[in-house]
Structure 1
Amino acid sequence: MDKAEKLADSIALHNRIEVEDIPKIDLYSDQVIQLFENSFAVSKRHEDEKILTKTMINNYAKGKLFYPIDSKKYSRNHVMLINMIYQMKSVLSINDVKKTLEGINDKAVQQEGSLESFYRSYLKVQQDNGDVFTAGLSRHMETAANVLPNEENDSELEKVLLIASLAHMSKLYKRAAEKLVDDLRKGEDGSR
């Protein structure tokens, strides 16, 4: 296993909640939290970090990031939407996440199409992203190792350069995602 694969493995790239992992019965918030803890515990940066809390779920509900629940229970569709919120919220603002999921929520409420089918597509893209990330990480590591002049070539400088490079790529991807959210908004008011 090369350095990039080892690093990618250490950040649990392929941890996710599969459709089959979601019970076929509606869940209370404590059960949803436990599902997320079980699924994403290995991806925590710090042991005391919380993956999902009741407050987070309540804030998503109050902010209308997903359609209303029934009898204090969350359906499989809600769990799928909460997972997508969980994944996007570290990069996008809550308002951007809300806008992104607005159409999906509307379709789920009107029972148009299958949220499960869409979610499976999302998981397939997520799997592919992990593979692309690992290949890109390898390329970034190679560039960081080779770009420093020989007299400055030490592991700390190489690591700092790699960190800066990854942060920059993250910013570029974030800006691209924000641009696409802005395009969704423009479509809403008819301007282009």
Structure 2
Amino acid sequence: MDHVKKFLDQLELDKNITVEDIPNIDLYMDQVIQLFESTYSGTKRNEDDKILTKTMINNYAKGKLFFQIKNKKYSKEHILLISLIFHLKGTISIGDIKRVLEEMNEKIVNEKFDLPQFYGSFLTIVSENMNQFQRDFQELVTSAENEVQAFDEKDKDYLEKVLMISSLSYMSNLYRRAAEKLVDEIQGEE
């Protein structure tokens, strides 16, 4: 059990940019990148990996994933949208992200939509997801340990990991497919 907790702690699942982390002043691109790097640096798989780059932000802007910036500065709403994009891009395509955020961008610009409140709701659900993931992961470890009991002792650790990787990948695909189906529903409603 302790090795599972240590493993989960290393994932730094609780790292997220909160509304309170964002200053009440508009930020330049380098400051936005620094905020993301400082928050998510522990989640990098390799030290050379980049969390967010100027090219990424420029591509998001060109792709109209968020509303237009003013004077080369990013508002709190821009940063919250970039954070949502950051979380979405690992699962769904940039085109799908654009479809998902299109109406929200319009609401922010035209209706004074309360994005910080929405983002707070997102973080509440993310926290619940994290807790559920930790419980599910522990169950997966137990299941994998049970499944490899019949195998040679020297192979058990490796086989447990292969089973877990396969299961996690399968579950990831299920969640991705469900997310894509919801994107298609949003697109169908437009």
> What band does the TM-score fall into relative to the shorter chain?
over 0.9
Q: Distance in 1 between matches of 2:84 and 2:30?
A: 18
Contact 1:107 1:113 in 2 (8 A): yes
Q: Compute the displacement of 1:50 (Å).
A: 0.5
Q: Counterpart of 1:180?
A: 182
Q: Counterpart of 2:145?
A: 145
Q: Counterpart of 2:167?
A: 165
- Classify the secondary structure of the residue corresponding to 1:46: coil
Q: Counterpart of 1:65?
A: 65
Residues 111-164 of structure 1: per-residue CA shift (max 9 Å, x gap): 433111001101111111111111111111111111235234511111111111
- Classify the secondary structure of the residue corresponding to 1:92: coil
**Range moving further from structure 2, 107-116 or 38-47:** 107-116
- Classify the secondary structure of the residue corresponding to 1:5: helix
* Paired amino acid for 2:160: E
Q: Distance in 1 between matches of 2:171 and 2:3?
A: 19
Q: Distance in 2 between matches of 1:151 and 1:78?
A: 53
Q: Cα RMSD over matched residues?
A: 1.2
Q: Distance in 1 between matches of 2:65 and 2:88?
A: 12
Instruction: Provide structure 1 residue ranges, at least 5 long, that are not aligned to the other structure.
Output: none
* Paired amino acid for 1:18: T
Matched, 1:136 2:139: no
Q: Distance in 2 between matches of 1:63 and 1:124?
A: 28
Q: Compute the displacement of 1:38 (Å).
A: 0.5
**Range moving further from structure 2, 76-85 or 94-103:** 94-103
Q: Map 1:3-42 onto structure 2 (within 5 A).
A: 3-42=3-42
Q: Counterpart of 2:101?
A: 101
Contact 1:4 1:134 in 2 (8 A): no
Q: Say how many residue pairs are matched.
A: 188
Per the normalisation by structure 2, the TM-score is 0.95
Per the normalisation by structure 1, the TM-score is 0.94
Q: Counterpart of 1:113?
A: 113
Q: Counterpart of 1:46?
A: 46
**Range moving further from structure 2, 126-135 or 103-112:** 103-112
Instruction: Provide structure 2 residue ranges, at least 5 long, that are not aligned to the other structure.
Output: none
Q: Distance in 1 between matches of 2:50 and 2:102?
A: 26
